Structure 1
Amino acid sequence: MEFRTKEEQVADFLREGIISGRFARGARLKQQEIATMLNTSITPVREALKLLAAEGYVIGDSYRGATVAPFDLETSREVLNLRILLETQLVRGAAENVTGADISELKVLASEFASAFAAGDNEAARAANYRFHHRMFAIAAMPQTLHFVQILWARYPFDLINRLKGRVSRAADEHDEMLAALIAGDAGAAMLATRQHIEAGFQELRDSVASLPNPPSAESRSL
């Protein structure tokens, strides 16, 4: 099993929390509250916040307090293209390395995602979505690529996409397609399903923004 330091564990907890919406964009992260929540000391929390600041998840001084970074929709198209490039490579690696135990674990995570949605717990669904993708990509054993993907995730509007009506249900179906391709050992199909999954969420968000009576201007799209 991979060894992870306390600060790495805290950082992953905060990444999941930010992507799931547990820690809202623009919210202030208080070190003592996080330390108490995780039953740890301030030091690993402070170091985790430094790491997340470098990745773009938070802004501010880790000593005086950090704030969850806002989204800038104007940059999301560039991030989308980078996500497709890197995440399809990770899925190809996963298809080459995946084991029966990995598939079983991914099925559990996919089920947790679908169950949270069915229960109306959107925050839990978004958290499960994060764990599903992170676990799938970790199978590729390409830690540098996964690290860059996590940096891209900090700049991507997952919260907004997963709040769209019916999006979580559609994402669950897309996860099933990705899993089916992995089970079949079809790297090409897994890569295509991953690309379509990423593009579908982004396009639904763009369509939602465009349908607003007064779509936000370029100057006001930082969320």
Structure 2
Amino acid sequence: MRKGLDDKAADMLRKEILTGEVEPGSRLVEARLAEKLDVSQGTIRAALKLLAREGLVVHDPFRGTSVKALTPEDAWEIYTLRNTLEAMGAKLAAERITPDKARMLKEAFVQLVTAVDESDWQVVMEADYNLHRVIFEMSAHKRLQEMYAIIETQTRLYINATGGLCTDLAKIPALHERLVEAVMNGDADRAQEIAADHNTEDGETLVKMLRQMEQNHSSTGG
């Protein structure tokens, strides 16, 4: 299916937001974006509405549209929801493991290791998300996959935000290796247990960091 201009514009803006090219809180002026992307303001307006539904931008009647900035509540909701969905996905994936699925998961893990070796956070982020997407595909639970897709972009925004918390990329494969092994071994209970807590440490750290930023902002009268 060919994408319309609205979707193409949304794709370009989404990429800039998720890669951090456009920072959280930045205003998105329709006229400037239309000129930059060489499309009409109507196209930009439609694209921004799509991104608003995805939770990437917010619209204020007085200040206009801006890139969504994660609040402590946002971070808490995202990482706890991810834990819940990923726990179910990992359990089902382990229960329904096949040799073909095991190879697919192993390939995704190798891609993550390779990305870490390249020391490029954006590449690591994509590989990280892809590995979890593979596990959801392996679960063969369509509605679970649909639920995860709903928060896909917000999850990517979350992963991008937690990137600043990871000072040692070499630790990332180890954090996923136990989960991958449990799923590949068909150990459903173990896979569920690991996935249920997979995002907790980074999530709690991000929540604390965002709360501190809010306090600093308030104390300076910003």
Matched length: 204
Deviation at 1:89, TM superposition (A): 1.0
Deviation at 1:71, TM superposition (A): 1.4
> Which residue in 2 is equivalent to 1:125?
124
8 A Cα contact 1:58 1:69, kept in partner: yes
> Which residue in 1 is equivalent to 2:99?
100
Q: Matched residues in 2 for 1:116 and 1:69: separation?
A: 27
1:126-141 superposed matches below 5 A: 126-141=125-140
8 A Cα contact 1:94 1:136, kept in partner: yes
- 2:161 aligned with 1:164, yes or no? no
Q: Matched residues in 2 for 1:152 and 1:169: separation?
A: 27
Letter in 2 for 1:140: S
Gaps of 5+ in 1: 36-44, 61-65
Q: Matched residues in 1 for 2:217 and 2:51: separation?
A: 25
Q: Matched residues in 2 for 1:6 and 1:220: separation?
A: 41
Q: Matched residues in 1 for 2:37 and 2:130: separation?
A: 20
> Which residue in 2 is equivalent to 1:39?
none
Displaced runs of 4 or more, over 6 A: 9-17, 31-35, 45-49
> Which protein is bigger by CA-based radius of gyration?
2
8 A Cα contact 2:83 2:198, kept in partner: no
> Which residue in 1 is equivalent to 2:199?
198
> Which residue in 2 is equivalent to 1:187?
188
Letter in 2 for 1:95: A
> Is the partner of 1:127 in helix, strand or coil?
helix
Deviation at 1:124, TM superposition (A): 0.7
Q: Deviations over 1:171-206 (max 9, x none)?
A: 311211111001110111111111232112213435
TM-score with structure 1 setting the length = 0.68
8 A Cα contact 1:20 1:127, kept in partner: no
> Which residue in 2 is equivalent to 1:75?
74
> Which residue in 1 is equivalent to 2:55?
56
8 A Cα contact 1:22 1:123, kept in partner: no
Describe the shift of the 1:165–1:75 C-alpha distance in structure 2 as closer, same or farther (beyond 3 A). closer
8 A Cα contact 1:86 1:145, kept in partner: yes
TM-score with structure 2 setting the length = 0.69
Q: Matched residues in 2 for 1:12 and 1:96: separation?
A: 35
Give the root-mean-square deviation of aligned CA atoms: 4.0
8 A Cα contact 1:91 1:191, kept in partner: yes
8 A Cα contact 1:31 1:46, kept in partner: no
Of all paired residues, the percent bearing the same amino acid is 24
Q: Matched residues in 2 for 1:198 and 1:18: separation?
A: 22
Gaps of 5+ in 2: 39-43, 60-64
- 2:216 aligned with 1:215, yes or no? no
